[in-house]
Amino acid sequence: MRLAGLIIAAFTGTVLLYSTVDFPAWGDPASPAGTHVSPHYLERGLEETSVPNIVTAVLADYRSFDTMFEATVIFAAGAVCVILLRIFGVHTRDRYYRHLLTGVTIHVIGDRKIPEDSEVFERIDALWVPHDVIISTISRILIPFIQLFALYVLAHGHHSPGGGFQGGVILGASVILMAISTNLRVSLERVGERTVALLAALGLLIYAGTGVLCMLSGGNYLDYGALAEWLPVDPVAARSLGILLVEIGVGVTVSATMIAIYRNLASSGRMDEGL
Amino acid sequence: MIWQLDLLILTLVILCAVAVISVRDLLGCAILFGAYSFLMCLLWAVMGAVDVAFTEASVGAGVSTVFLVAAVFRTTRRTKD
């Protein structure tokens, strides 16, 4: 069996390596991809969309329809994770509490529990190692800067590398860091499960809504130039603003999806006990 | 593109890929996969695709490593079969 696997892998690898011979050379201006649309994007992109970063212009304007469905794929991935992993309903489960004054840990068996807002007992997770001062302090200092950087990446995607996907992932990562450095319940208090689900859908709604808004303004779907009718700018600047709108939509969806996937993975869908 | 740098990163990418499938510890696999993603990110940056490199760094090396570690954490040390 191992030998058969090796032969199949070696054969596939050889075929793949052999087929790369037909690829155009790296950066070849005479390749099919570099002869028709690429020159147009590179030469006319700035004057048509007023976006200096051509990658962003192609991703969110010329190829906007693709990007919308990329965001939909991410939303679908998050939704599937929730459907597969999330366990709803009552489940009896042992709980652990630490008595804050003495440090004694008690083990409550079954479905009974001490109120969550108790000042004498603190709920702790069985799998979670006790609080580490260094990790929690560093995370508390870092998280606002990470979130600020995420917003910068999202909003500055027109001029530098970045955009909705990267900004959204970094924004989601900051909430994940909060969940890792404290515990899952703290992050659930800050950003609730329902909020995350609504945000994931809202991002896609912003994206698709921008397209519909363009249609209402008399243009094609996702033709941001038509937005100039509503905005006090010329059509070229309107395309830049349209790109910003859809990037915000992508960012909201991606960040919410990342948070939802992490929470379901880390707590096996129970949403009470994190890593 | 600097070919020495390119060659070095490509060698490390292949080493990482072989290590990921040969290491028996799942947590080690997850970490090595993160290293693999980061090397791919460097490779994109060397080729001038900075946007792709950024995405690879944040999604591949960052969040998916966290997802893998979270998934590994829910497994047991020994298989049942």
Q: Do A26 and B47 touch (CB under 8 A)?
A: yes
Average pLDDT of the residues in A106-128 = 75
The pLDDT score that the predictor gives to residue B13 is 95
Q: Residue A273: inside a domain, yes or no?
A: no
| Extended strands (E) in chain A | 95-99, 105-108, 121-124
Check whether residue A104 and residue A208 sit in a common domain: no
Q: What is the pLDDT along chain B (81 residues), one digit of tens a residue?
A: 788 999 999 999 999 999 998 998 899 999 999 999 999 999 999 988 999 999 999 999 999 999 999 888 888 777 665
Alpha-carbon distance A212 to B63, whole Å? 32
The answer to whether residue A268 neighbours chain B at the CB level (below 8 Å) is: yes
* Res. A257: pLDDT tops 70: yes
What's the domain range around A98? Answer: 93-124
Q: Are residues A58 and A194 in the same domain?
A: yes
Residues A114 and A149 in one domain: no
A199 alpha carbon, distance to own chain's centre: 11
B49 membership: H or E segment, kind and range: none
My answer on whether A102 and A183 are in the same domain is no
Q: Assess if residue A10 is contained within a domain.
A: no
Q: Give the Cα-Cα-Cα angle A167, A169, A172 (nearest 5 degrees).
A: 110
| pLDDT value for A245 | 92
What's the pLDDT at B22?
92
How many residue pairs bridge chain A and chain B with CB atoms within 8 Å of each other? 54
In terms of domains, do A113 and A242 share one?
no
Kindly state whether residues A43 and A116 are assigned to the same domain.
Answer: no
User: What is the C-alpha separation between A250 and A25, in angstroms, rounded?
Assistant: 33
SS3 A51: coil
Q: Are A183 and A98 found together in one domain? A: no
Residues A169, A206, single domain; the answer is: yes
Residue A274 forms part of a structural domain: no
Residues A81 and A99 in one domain: no
The per-residue pLDDT for range A2-52, each reduced to its tens digit, is: 899 999 999 999 999 999 988 888 778 888 878 888 888 888 888 888 899
| Sign of the alpha-carbon torsion through A7, A11, A14, A20 | negative
Rounded to two decimals, the pTM is: 0.87
* pLDDT score, position B41: 95
Q: Which of A70, A152, A160, A166 is best to mutate for the B interface (most B CBs within 10 A)?
A: A166
**Total count of domains within chain A:** 2
Cβ atoms < 10 Å from Cβ of A137 = 11
B54–A169 CB contact, under 8 Å:
no
